[in-house]
């Protein structure tokens, strides 16, 4: 009952804050800039308010404070998620408010992310003494990470944060896919009696469902780097504390494919001068192939569900 009450609180806050926050973002002229090199259908999205990730980030500490305030593990997750969210917020603010197109410099952003990832990993590993026996995919048992725990955890956080950021290019795509992954962690936490994982997972999933009311096509607000970096950190953080880091490529399979499509495109063009995809990330490839945006998103959501089911299996 407590778990579902937490989900209801998160959903109600995210959904209820939309009519308050979105007009304020519009009034402050915090609108998304759209690249002219992207799909032409996206040009009409120019000026749509961004930084909307605060809609699903604000409920998280409220839910933890009400339902799990004694858990250092829960607050460590809040620290990581909000830390990445604030890095994204700074990046968004520089882009849309100060008109600095590239936002934070790449090295600045990476340094801040590394600091946050290292602090979180140290807390869960050295302060909370997290069990370092991690689940292998496809029922192959567990493996002790030992000294690999630290580097793998930091790498997972950095990679996940930026993979969700790459994926966030269509209305509702990243939010829906991440909500699916968060529901995986919710059920995993329930099945293995890990209350913090189930609570934080459901709080994030419910907050995202509330946010999706305003983010599905045609989107009234974008999550921005504020949301996408935070969501990636949330995925990795929950995977680390639930000992499922090695399942993360399946849990977040869409984000892996999207990121790989960018890497493949860059390598192919540098080596051969030819592109493998019409445009990367791969969701743009399907758009330019004539798929409506809503179809790309719905098919990719189904793909995300299949990945989560494979991870559970």
Residue positions forming the annotated binding site for Mg(2+): 165, 225
DSSP character at residue 273: S
Residue 233 contacts residue 116 (beta carbons within 8 Å): yes
Q: Which residues contact 205 (CB under 8 A, 6 or more apart)?
A: 7, 179, 182, 183, 186
CA-to-CA dists, residue 98 to 24, 29, 93, 167, 205, angstroms:
17, 11, 7, 25, 32
Tokens of 83: 């830390």
Residue 84 contacts residue 91 (beta carbons within 8 Å): no
> Known binding site: residues?
165, 225
Taking the CB of residue 310, how many other CB atoms lie within 10 A of it? 15
Q: At what angle do helices 106-122 and 149-167 cross, to 10 degrees?
A: 130
């Amino acid at each position: 009952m407590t778990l579902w009450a937490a989900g209801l609180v998160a959903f109600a806050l995210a959904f209820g804050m939309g009519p308050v926050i979105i007009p304020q973002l519009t009034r402050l002229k915090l609108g998304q800039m759209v690249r002219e090199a992207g799909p032409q259908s996206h040009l009409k999205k120019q000026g749509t308010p961004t930084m909307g990730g605060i809609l699903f980030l604000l409920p998280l500490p409220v839910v933890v404070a009400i339902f799990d305030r004694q858990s250092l593990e829960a607050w460590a997750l809040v620290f990581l998620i909000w830390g990445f969210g604030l890095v994204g917020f700074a990046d968004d603010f520089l882009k849309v408010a100060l008109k600095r197109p590239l936002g934070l410099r790449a090295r600045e952003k990476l340094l801040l992310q590394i600091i946050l990832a290292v602090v979180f990993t140290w807390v869960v590993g050295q302060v909370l003494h997290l069990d370092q026996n991690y689940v292998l995919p496809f029922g192959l048992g567990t493996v002790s990470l030992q000294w690999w725990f630290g580097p793998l955890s930091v790498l997972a956080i950095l990679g996940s944060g930026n993979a969700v950021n790459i994926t966030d290019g269509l209305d509702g795509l990243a939010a829906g896919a991440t909500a699916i992954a968060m529901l995986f962690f919710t059920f995993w936490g329930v099945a293995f009696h890990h209350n913090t994982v189930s609570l934080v997972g459901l709080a994030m999933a419910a907050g995202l469902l509330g946010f999706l009311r305003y983010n599905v096509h045609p989107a009234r607000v974008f999550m921005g780097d504020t949301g996408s970096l935070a969501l990636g950190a949330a995925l990795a953080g929950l995977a680390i504390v639930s000992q499922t880091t090695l399942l993360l490529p399946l849990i977040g399979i869409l984000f892996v494919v999207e990121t790989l499509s960018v890497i493949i495109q860059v390598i192919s063009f540098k080596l051969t001068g030819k592109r493998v995809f019409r445009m990367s990330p791969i969701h743009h490839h399907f758009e330019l192939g004539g798929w409506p945006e809503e179809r790309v998103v719905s098919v990719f959501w189904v793909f995300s569900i299949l990945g989560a089911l494979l991870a559970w299996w």
